[in-house]
Amino acid sequence: MLYFLHEYFNINILGYITIRAGISFFIALFLTLYLLPKFIRWAQKTSSVQPINKWAPERHKEKVSTPTMGGIIFIGSTIFASLLTIKFTNLYALGALLTLFLFSLIGFQDDYAKIKKNENLAGLKARTKLALQIISALLVSGFLYFFADFNTDLYIPFIKTPLFDMGIFSIILWVLVIIATSNAVNLTDGLDGLATVPSIVALSTFSIIIYIIGNIKLSSYLLMPNIQIGEVVIIASALIGALSGFLWFNCHPAEVFMGDSGSLTIGAFLGYLAIISKSEILLLLIGSIFVIETLSVILQVGSYKLRKKRVFLMAPIHHHFEMKQWAENKIIVRFWIIAVLSNIIALISLKIR
């Protein structure tokens, strides 16, 4: 709508990505702040609350009455704000919206099944969820490859030229990136606000990278590829705004959880941003907290199956520190600090090419 006003009524200021990104941020922020209290009251009345995993630390039992599925509010706010502000002819922006929509549907189905059966482990079957994620990731990756004719070169940090052209095999990498990141954020979402702030920080970093790549002067100066993906910054900005509004209610002690409808969607969207910004490898640093959480689970499961011994007291690793009697706030804030520091390093790496 705003870009329409720019084109047909010659309102030049609305042609700038930065202006529309700022507007989308505040629309999503205020919409989330307005809707979440209403959602929380509705969820409490209908008992749409978080079923607690029976293996979770004892202190989690006090969270049993906390509403979940807050993700449908901030993802919905993100999509609404984006529809008002993006340029609809930009295929990369449409691909971003497709990612948000598909993965929020998967997350909603999983959350709804858990609430209906009042059991944390009673959501979608693991195979079903993975199959839906693969199908959705294939749709997004296929859209990029066949419709957007996206650059299939593989870039790595600190090197100014691509390693090689992946061709159609890029779809395999893109699917893996989207699914892996989606599940990594989902694993991290275990404490109040733990996944929210690292997501905001990662989205901010990707927004900077995407804006640079979409700008021919900046991308040329930093020896980065120039691809017309700048419009996606508007959607990322909307999600940052929506998550900021969500954090108001999600900080410790949380009044609402994002649920799989939020965490799976955020992760998939971060994966999408990594792909279009040619930062699939740099994602390991940008999403360091998500990587650490995922590796802790892999190490724990692998060690137990091979040696019948555990590496951590409990996995994901944030539960390990809970078992060591760390205060929840201390775990959360320290993980936030790690996320901020790793993203600063990621941004510094852009200049070292």
166 band by pLDDT with thresholds 50, 70 and 90: very high
Task: Please report whether residue 88 resides in a domain.
Answer: yes
Three-state DSSP at 154 gives: strand
> Does residue 215 lie within any of the structural domains?
yes
Q: Do the domain assignments include residue 90?
A: yes
Q: What percent of the chain has pLDDT over 70?
A: 92
323 vs 189, 218, 329, CA distance in Å?
A: 17, 47, 14
pLDDT of res. 134: 97
Task: Scan for tokens 């449409």, then name that residue.
Answer: 94
Angstrom CA distances, 107 to 18, 95, 144, 262, stand at 30, 18, 23, 7
Residue 328 lies inside a defined structural domain of this protein? no
Interval 26-79: pLDDT, tens = 999 999 999 999 999 998 888 777 665 555 565 555 667 788 899 999 999 999
Span 107-146, pLDDT tens digits = 999 888 878 766 555 568 889 999 999 999 999 999 999 9
Identify the band that residue 7 occupies on the pLDDT scale cut at 50, 70 and 90. Answer: low
Instruction: Please report whether residue 195 resides in a domain.
Output: yes
Query: What confidence tens digit (pLDDT) does each residue in 143-162 have?
Result: 999 999 899 999 999 888 89
**Amino acid sitting at position 106:** I
Q: What is the mean pLDDT of the chain?
A: 91
Residue 324 clears pLDDT 80, i.e. is over it: yes
Q: Which pair of tokens denotes residue 310?
A: 């555990």
pLDDT (0 to 100) of residue 58: 57
Expressed as residue numbers, the domain containing 144 is: 2-284
Does pLDDT of 163 surpass 70?
A: yes
290 lies in a domain? no
| Number of domains the chain is built from | 1
Inside any domain, residue 343? no
Distance CA(41)–CA(45), nearest Å, equals 6
Mean pLDDT of 199-204: 98
Q: Is residue 245 part of a domain?
A: yes
Share of the chain above pLDDT 90, in %: 76
Helix (H, G, I), strand (E, B) or coil at 351: coil
Give bridge partners of residue 164 from the DSSP assignment: 154
